[in-house]
Amino acid sequence: MAVDVAALSQTSPGRWSGALSSPFALGVTSCEGPCSATASGATEQRSLVKLHDSVPPSLVSAKFRYSRPEVARDTLIFELSELWPAQQTGDLATALVMVGRLSDSALEVAPMLHWYQTGERSFVVIVDTSWERRLHRGDSARLSYNGGLSLVLDKLGNRVGKLSRWVPVEFGERPLELIIRQEHPILVNGRSGIEPWTEPAADVPGSEMLVRDDVTGAYVQVDGTITVGPDGTVTGTTPPRNNPARTMDVYIKLNRPLDGTIFVYDNTGVAVRQLDLSELIKLWPAGSEDVQREIKISWNGTDTRNKFVSGGVYLMRAFVKYRNKDGKQDFKNLLWKYGWVREGVAK
C-alpha cells in the first residue's frame, strides 16, 4: 500500500496521519499481516513505514438460530472483523452486542444464559426464547459500547466505540411447530339463571378466522384490514364480531403457511357450516414463510341462514395442509366433538 508523504500531517513526534491511497475493504478493521505501507516523497525515495491501528473491531455478520420449543434456548452467532484475544465467559450481565432497527431504540442483549468464543474471530451468545419475540426480520446488530468498557477488543487493546458498524441479522428457519386443538368444546346458551342470547345480527358471520395481533396481543379478523409488515408482524383493526364467550373454537399455532377447510356436521352427518381457510395464506407473504402465527377459527352455533342450529352434539372437522420440515406438503385431518346446549331457549 502506497502513502504520499506530502499528504501526511505530523500528529506527534514520530507519528504522521493521513488518508491511504486505497481504503480497506468494507468491514476490515486491521491488517491481515504486518501493518505497513510504503511512503514516497518528491525525490521518489521510498521507505517502509509502520501503520498504527487505532480502529476497534466491528461485526461482519450476525445470525439468529431457533431452538426447539422443548430446549427453549436460542442462539446468536457473530463474526468479527479481526482477532479477539481470549476472554473469560463468566460475565453474563454485560452485553456483547445490541440489536434493533433504530440506534435510539436498540436493545442490549443481556443478561445472557451463556456465551463463548468459537474461534479468534467469532463468538456465540445463548439467550432464552423471549428474544424470539423481541427480534424481528429486518433487525440489525452491532457490538455494544458499554460506556467505553466493551468486552470486545482487538489484540492492540482497541475497544468498541460509540459508533460501530451495523450488520443485518440473518434469521434461520424455525423448527416445525404445529399445534391444533379445540377450545370451548361445550357452549351453553341460557344457563340456569342467565338470560339466553338470540341469534347475532345478519352482518355477523357465523364463523370467523382470527389471528393474534403481535402488537396488542388481541385477536383480529383476517380480512381487508390485516396488514403484514416486511418483518412478518401482523396488525389489524377489526376485532372479532362474535362474542368470544359465545363461540366454539379451534386454536392453531403454526410457523408455516396454512391452507385448508373447516366443516361442521350435525349428528346425522349433514354439513351446517363450511369455512375456506385459503385467506390465511396472506399471513405468510414472501420472505416470512416461517413466521409463527396464533389463529382461532370460531363458530357461533348458527347455520348458513344465520339461525341457531338445534342443540346437540356436532362434529367439527379440520382439514389443513402446510409445508413440513422437508419442504413438502403435509396434511392433517382432525375431528372433534362439540356440545351445543340451548337451555330455556324457545324452539
Q: Which of 144, 171, 198 is the last residue of a domain?
A: 171
How does residue 34 score in pLDDT terms, banded at 50, 70 and 90? low
347 domain-assigned: no
Of the two residues 41 and 276, the one the predictor is more confident about is: 276
Q: Model pTM?
A: 0.63
> Residue 347: pLDDT above 50?
no
Question: Which is more confident, 49 or 278?
Answer: 278
Confidence of residue 52 (pLDDT cuts 50, 70, 90): low
82 shares its domain with 25: no
325 and 262, same domain (yes or no): yes
Band of pLDDT at residue 172, cut at 50, 70 and 90: confident
202 and 99 share one domain: no
Same-domain check for residues 144 and 215: no
C-alpha cell at 257: 403457511
Q: Tell me 82's DSSP state.
A: S
Segment 222-235 shows an average pLDDT of: 81
Q: Which domain does 252 fall in, by range?
A: 178-342
22 and 120, same domain (yes or no):
no
As a whole number of angstroms, the distance between CA 94 and CA 92 comes to 6
Is there a domain that residue 117 lies in? yes
Of 150, 171, 192, the domain-final residue: 171
Residue with grid cell 331457549, as numbered in its chain: 345
Q: Residue 160 domain-assigned?
A: yes
Least confident of 27-36, 169-178, 230-239: 27-36
User: What is the pLDDT averaged over residues 164-173?
Assistant: 91
Given a contact cutoff of 8 angstroms between Cβ atoms, the answer to whether 174 and 253 are in contact is no
Residue 297 sits in the same domain as residue 192:
yes
Question: Total structural domains in the chain?
Answer: 3
> How does the average pLDDT of the chain come out, rounded?
84
Average pLDDT for residues 123-134, to the nearest whole number?
90
74 shares its domain with 23: no
pLDDT 10s digits, 277-334: 999 988 988 767 778 899 999 999 999 999 999 999 999 999 999 887 777 889 999 9
CA 209 to chain centre: 22
Looking at the structure, do residues 21 and 80 belong to the same domain, yes or no? no
Neighbours of 170 (CB within 10 A): 13
Q: Within this chain, do residues 204 and 133 fall inside the same structural domain, yes or no?
A: no
pLDDT at 204 over 80: yes
Q: Looking at 93-97, 159-163, 228-232, 269-273, which range is the least confident one?
A: 228-232
DSSP string, 106-130: -EE--S-SEEEEEETTEEEEEEETH
